[in-house]
A and B are shown apart, each in its own frame.
Chain A
């Protein structure tokens, strides 16, 4: 079936054989040293570099040694082996089909007749799957419109992640701060970017949607894929000074002075704006919840 031939008869060159032999000796010896280095490194707490280097030398030494050993034993052989044919001959195929479809001699029917049984089997397997869907449903509750509610409502104060409320009068222009509803710091769907810009820059609809003295607040969850829109930049290159809210994940850019509408990048929708008011103590608070779901849209939120 197969025949061996010593490849090119390189074995006649004792010098090269000797070289491979010496390489294997050196490699295995190095491997031993590597293992010892690793053990010493571990026991002397030098696990940052030397443990790994020692192990790498041990592994590499064994690998190189094995290959050198193979070369020393002169394994550069060329063997020719025939492939058995993979395709079936006509006779084989007929015999196989016969085996598949023939019933014992005393049987009075054939495989194909019983359509009803086949269909019932299919139906029962399907209903089995349906029966198992139930337990899978326990993995999570049914959505009950949570997407339409966040932690914001009329009168809820804006606080920083340290819990500081924001005074109407404080803060210079063009500073970005991340705020949460008071008492719900870290609530994911309620994260908001708060920004103060010179009031005359804001477009009319932005002001109408609930800005106060140049304070504007938008949902921080990107309407593209849900990352936190964490970057604020001012592009001072002529002709216009541009303020931009940027999502670091996929580089969606929103315009904070114009209702956070998407300017460039993959986002298709503006960030929902949080309407603001000032409470009795002079701190910024929400005037209402967002007027639409925050974050990336679902398929039925046209």
Chain B
């Protein structure tokens, strides 16, 4: 037996790690994993925020499944919300009412789930914008860009199915629109709606079918792709901004253990804290005000969740076009609900290859561009964001008209014009701004020969970076690392 002394010299943490790593032969691998370096920049946090709101979604979602009933069987409401008592509704809606009013703490969890979903998609969008505008999607990370866009699509699908499950008036309306878009698909449309809805609209199957999709299929796919996404980041190492000592062949930052891990776990708790506070303080999706889905009922100012807004806007702003080809019809919803979304996501998927084609840049990149370094790409990104923003505004054109006291037709027409005019203007202005910024005597101002450190008290000061090689000046950075304007 080994001497008891050496045993007691090991702390709890060491003993635990020994017992696991010692059985997996993972000692040296674990050591190098703990020493892995992650570069530091505030804009790198958004992906983490998305990840951590997903964790909250899973946790709150599991709680909700313990109460939610995914069926459309008719029940008469007898819960404690007075205005709806005695009304006929689906078991799904009744169970959401129960969670909201009769399960102690249920409303908090439900609202946290909804807020977390809104933040999840938002964080993904901001993260994607960061990746795009800094050129982080370039070789060798094209694959991870595609995985990321897939994750965005899955997040939207999760949101859409989740929005539909309570079977309230608005969710039924949303499903109705999806039904119409599928119905209009050439050749397979009507058959496909019958397969999805188990027959004619609305049927009694759709909620029961969306339920496993929402709580099993989509989350499982998200978890799998998240594994790939993070695995690729781990394997290929994170990108970094230019700066003293930072080259295409190194990573400068903090190591996983303990700095990165401790701060990142801290961020998980902070994200959860914000979502919990929002769930406690701000109402979201107050389905009891909309009431159960009811044939023939409709509400004004009906709006989807924010991330579906651009699709809603496309349906609203696209002109009333119908194309007839030999007795067959391509209707307005095919253009606005299929063609335009396909274009948007198709371009998103293809972004790395489009960028490569336009710039002729086939090199590997680990140093990020600042947006100004790639005027063409930044301008294109802002133009694309402008398109999505105008579509988003179009999704609530009735609210805009009501607020501004303008006629609905005028607002619609203005937004249609804006959709055509604003993106080129945004492109030109952004390109111009990038060039002006890039021409300024930048390197001394923005890329310092000495790094700035933030110390533990929050103060900033500069000093020499302690490493073997002397800090490199901007001019000495290898050619492929310098900025290039398109």
Contacts and interface: CB of A to CB of B under 8 A. Distances in A.
B234 to A, nearest CB: 12
User: Considering residues A53, A79, A142, A188, which has the most beta carbons from chain B within 10 angstroms of its beta carbon?
Assistant: A79
A51 B105 contact: yes
A239 interface: no
Contact of A3 (B104, B198, B263, B467): B467
A167 to B, nearest CB: 21
Contacts of B319: 266
B272 interface: yes
Interface of B is mostly: mixed
A9 B463 contact: yes
A63 B467 contact: no
Range, interface on chain A? 35 or more
Interface in A12-61: 13, 15-17, 19-20, 42, 45, 47-53, 55-60
Contacts of B196: 139-140
Contact of A8 (B107, B187, B337, B461): B461
A47 B104 contact: yes
A268 B236 contact: no
Contacts of A71: 456-457
User: Considering residues A142, A187, A191, A299, which has the most beta carbons from chain B within 10 angstroms of its beta carbon?
Assistant: A299
B455 A227 contact: no
Given A4-B255, A77-B254, A295-B180, A16 B186 contact: no
Interface string A149-190: 000000000000100000000000000001010000011110
A70 B262 contact: yes
A180 B456 CA distance: 71
B295 to A, nearest CB: 5
Nearest to B319: A266
A67 interface: yes
Nearest to B467: A80
B252 A79 contact: yes
A67 B189 contact: no
A300 interface: yes
Nearest to B413: A264
Given A66-B269, A86-B364, A251-B408, A231 B456 contact: no
Given A86-B140, A249-B173, A302-B328, A139 B198 contact: yes
A82 B296 CA distance: 65
B250 A264 contact: no
B279 A72 contact: no
B409 interface: yes
Given A220-B296, A248-B299, A251-B408, A83 B466 contact: no
Contacts of A142: 191, 194
Contacts of B279: 52
B37 to A, nearest CB: 4
Contact of A59 (B254, B262, B276, B459): B276
B56 to A, nearest CB: 10
Interface string B180-192: 1101111101110
A302 B295 CA distance: 27
A7 B322 CA distance: 65
Given A141-B199, A187-B295, A267-B332, 8 more contacts: A16-B456, A52-B276, A64-B266, A65-B266, A76-B455, A227-B302, A228-B296, A302-B329
Listed from nearest, the 5 A-B pairs whose CB atoms lie closest are A52-B280, A16-B457, A230-B298, A63-B269, A10-B455
